[in-house]
């Protein structure tokens, strides 16, 4: 099944923001996993080790802006 969307300018801006947040979470998770592997030689699992960090990040001051975005999309970015 294919779906084609024709968002207006406001919807385009919201989608851009959502995709940006997802990209940020993906890149941050990748950096954490890579750093852990380089330093300690062991790997982290997305569901057990990385996804809980997302909840912690949302409660922090620095990354509290992540609360404004879809939680499921951000969790999938961690996977």
Q: Where are the domains of the chain?
A: 16-78
At 48 the pLDDT is 84
Q: Rounded to whole angstroms, how far apart are CA atoms 57 and 72?
A: 15
What does the pLDDT read at residue 78?
Answer: 87
For 3, the enclosing helix (H) or strand (E) is none
The number of CA neighbours under 13 Å toward the Cβ of 35 is 7
Say which residue the tokens 């509290």 belong to: 64
Residue 24 Cα distances to 18, 36, 39, 43, 44, angstroms: 10, 18, 22, 20, 18
pLDDT of 31:
92
Ordered mean pLDDT values, 10 residues apiece, the chain (79 residues): 94 96 95 90 83 92 95 92
Task: Give pLDDT, residue 41.
Answer: 86
Supply the pLDDT for residue 67.
95
Note the pLDDT of residue 56: 93
């Amino acid at each position: 099944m294919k779906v084609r969307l024709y968002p207006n300018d406001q919807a385009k801006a919201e989608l851009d923001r959502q995709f940006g947040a997802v990209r940020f979470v993906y890149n941050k998770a990748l950096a954490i996993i890579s750093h852990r592997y380089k330093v300690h030689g062991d790997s982290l699992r997305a569901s057990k080790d990385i996804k809980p960090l997302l909840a912690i990040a949302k409660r922090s001051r620095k990354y509290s802006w992540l609360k404004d975005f879809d939680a499921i999309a951000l969790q999938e970015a961690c996977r």
